[in-house]
Amino acid sequence: MRSIPSELAQRYKDDGWWTDETVGELIGRGLTDRGSLEFEVHSATHPYVGTFADVEKIARRLAAGLADRGVGEGDVIVSQLPNWMEAAATFWATSFLGAVIVPVVHFYGPKEMAHIIATTKPKVVITADGFGKLTYDPELYRDVPIVGVVGRNFDELLAAEPMTGIIKADPAAPALIAFTSGTTSKAKGVIHSHQTLVCETRQLAMRWPHDGQPQITGAPTGHFIGMVSAFLIPILEGYPVHLIDVWDPAVVLRLMIERKLKVGGGAPYFVTSVLDHPDFTPAHLEFMPYAGLGGASVPLSFTRRLTELGVTAYRSYGSTEHPSITGSKPADSVIKRTQTDGSALEGVELRIAPDGEILSRGPDLCIGYTDDTLTANAFDSEGWYHTGDIGVLDETGSLTITDRKNDVIIRGGENISAQEVEEELLGLPGVAEAVAVSAPDARLGEHTAAVLRLKPGAVMPTIDELRAHFSTSGLAKQKWPEELHQLDEFPRTPSGKVQKAVIRKLVAERSDQTRSTAATP
């Protein structure tokens, strides 16, 4: 755990951000008034239709069954499930018990799961018999005392009578450990307390447009923001829950019309995949009144496109470690909403280091990593989190992210902004998404490589066409891409963010193969 300066902790309490309320208490109190709201899972293989009260009863039966098996306050429960009802029941049951939930995205494989289990040493694992690439392997859980498998024995864990009440945990104690991929070789375990998680839930809920329209959640609930958006905010705000376990734009477009469900944003991919689908019609715009964008770089060309369609786009910035750092609101000016990542949210402080790195601190900032070395490197003695992102603040206090530290391309000693190059690449005809990464260069150390994902039916541009496009951009020639690659799908994190490290490695491997082929007699 990181050391939180006492004056900061006291400020968060005095200002009401940190209270004695636990996650279990927030859920239990909210469900008292929300029992009749619908809870639905849209799935071809594991659908569910019920109410909040129905899911709460299953959660309380699960909590009672686990308590009978010795599970209680502070114990760790790992949940690796798709966007299914059982994921909500497991999360709520864990909170009722005062235990620590570890949500894991369903597409993490045995290697990642083995790391997570070894790191957290759970008393319980709840998983699925099979879904997509997820296949139950009992050997992986041989040292876990209790294993529940949806599709096998999950129902056997449910007690006949539901648990009553809530076990009161220490509000400053861990409530959640979220694993997130980053620059390290293994996923990082980010620890949030009841105080930071409850604060984040309220922070995020304050920024939701209160238009009364239910929305569909496609972001994995095994990911931090997907989980908060699906299993906490609806309880706080009184919204129905509609989950989809496979993000299929054709199905989403159908549900928007048939069930009057809105697509509210997230990473840009979730919105672009709908807009670019051949089934999209102007009628769908009724269910896209706004798009709250975050979790990935948001190109200016994309927010302009949304604005032209009449969609109110607004951006935000955060991470699993510090979920809500900055944000804009639908009522803000178009420039602030679409050209910046907003200003510091209530209770949050921002600072730009001399090298341009963004430093943040606030009441929703995590309490550390499971790895003490990572904690020591990311947090300083004054409570500042060193984000690894590069940004600038304008005269109004609005932040604009310009790069990740490790996304800067250094060509012959000159720094090139990948984001700047990507903005120009998106102006090429037929380009759906664009990534600029460094590629090895024997003379200059690095040069810029462009990797494109095309819209359906589009033709890949040639390198000469790319150069002609950049010649009119005003961008310095040394910043122009010197390699061009195509991918049908980009590798992504659970939140939809493109995994640039994976693409960078792929580009380097392709460059090595090209050099080897050229050197072959």
Which pLDDT score is estimated for 516?
A: 40
Helix (H) or strand (E) holding 358: strand 357-361
Q: Which residue has the higher pLDDT, 242 or 207?
A: 242
Which pLDDT score is estimated for 238?
A: 92
Which pLDDT score is estimated for 210?
A: 72
pLDDT tens-digit profile of 392-434? 999 999 999 877 766 778 786 666 778 888 989 999 999 999 9
Which pLDDT score is estimated for 272?
A: 87
The number of beta carbons lying within 10 Å of the beta carbon of residue 385 is 20
pLDDT at 197 over 80: yes
Q: What is the mean predicted confidence (pLDDT) over 350-357? A: 92
Residue 31 pLDDT grade (very low, low, confident, very high; cuts 50, 70, 90)? very high
Q: Which residue has the higher pLDDT, 329 or 516?
A: 329
Which pLDDT score is estimated for 519?
A: 36
pLDDT at 128 over 90: yes
Q: What is the mean predicted confidence (pLDDT) over 156-161? A: 98
- Find the range with the poorest average confidence among 36-45, 164-173, 285-294: 285-294
Q: What is the mean predicted confidence (pLDDT) over 245-258? A: 96
- Find the range with the poorest average confidence among 22-26, 97-101, 288-292: 288-292
For 411-439, give one letter per residue: b (16+ CB within 10 A) or e. Answer: beeeebbbbebbbbbbebeebbbbbbbbb
pLDDT tens-digit profile of 257-266? 999 999 988 7
Helix (H, G, I), strand (E, B) or coil at 86: helix
Q: Which residue has the higher pLDDT, 207 or 16?
A: 16
pLDDT at 517 over 70: no
Residue 275 pLDDT grade (very low, low, confident, very high; cuts 50, 70, 90)? very high
- Residues 161 and 64: beta-carbon distance below 8 Å: yes
Which pLDDT score is estimated for 406?
A: 66
Which pLDDT score is estimated for 112?
A: 87
Q: Which residues on neighbouring strands pair with residue 433, listed in sequence order?
A: 453
Residue 270 pLDDT grade (very low, low, confident, very high; cuts 50, 70, 90)? confident
Tokens standing for 251?
């199905």
Specify the CATH architecture of the domain 408-514.
2-Layer Sandwich (3.30)
Q: How far is residue 72's CA from residue 75's CA, in Å, rounded to a whole number?
A: 6
CA dist 147 → 97, 196, 212, 427 (Å): 17, 29, 39, 50
Q: How far is residue 194's CA from residue 192's CA, in Å, rounded to a whole number?
A: 7
Which pLDDT score is estimated for 265?
A: 80
Sheet holding 349-352, edge to edge: 349-352, 357-361, 385-393, 399-404
pLDDT at 212 over 90: no
Q: What is the mean predicted confidence (pLDDT) over 439-449? A: 82
Q: Which residues on neighbouring strands pair with residue 188, listed in sequence order?
A: 180
Q: Please, what is the average pLDDT of the chain?
A: 90
CA dist 305 → 177, 302, 332, 417, 425 (Å): 37, 5, 18, 23, 15
Q: What backbone phi and psi angles, to 5 degrees, belong to 252?
A: -60, -45
Which pLDDT score is estimated for 446?
A: 83
The number of beta carbons lying within 10 Å of the beta carbon of residue 139 is 7
Which pLDDT score is estimated for 521?
A: 30
Burial category of 183 from C-beta neighbours within 10 Å (exposed 0-12, middle 13-18, buried 19 and up)? exposed
Q: Which pTM value belongs to this model?
A: 0.83
pLDDT tens-digit profile of 290-324? 988 886 667 787 889 999 999 999 999 998 999 99
Percent of the chain surpassing pLDDT 70: 94
Which pLDDT score is estimated for 482?
A: 94
The domain ranges of the chain are 408-514
Q: How far is residue 390's CA from residue 357's CA, in Å, rounded to a whole number?
A: 4
Which pLDDT score is estimated for 181?
A: 67
Annotate 23-45 with DSSP letters as a single string: HHHHHHHHHHHHTTSEEEEE-SS
Closest CA to 35 of 64, 21, 49, 55: 55
- Find the range with the poorest average confidence among 54-68, 115-129, 181-195, 473-487: 181-195
Question: What spatial distance separates the first Cα and last Cα of the chain, rounded to whole Å?
Answer: 57
Tokens standing for 487?
């991918």
Residue 518 pLDDT grade (very low, low, confident, very high; cuts 50, 70, 90)? very low
Which pLDDT score is estimated for 444?
A: 73
CA dist 421 → 47, 106, 473 (Å): 43, 33, 10
- Residues 409 and 415: beta-carbon distance below 8 Å: yes
Q: Which residue has the higher pLDDT, 283 or 329?
A: 283
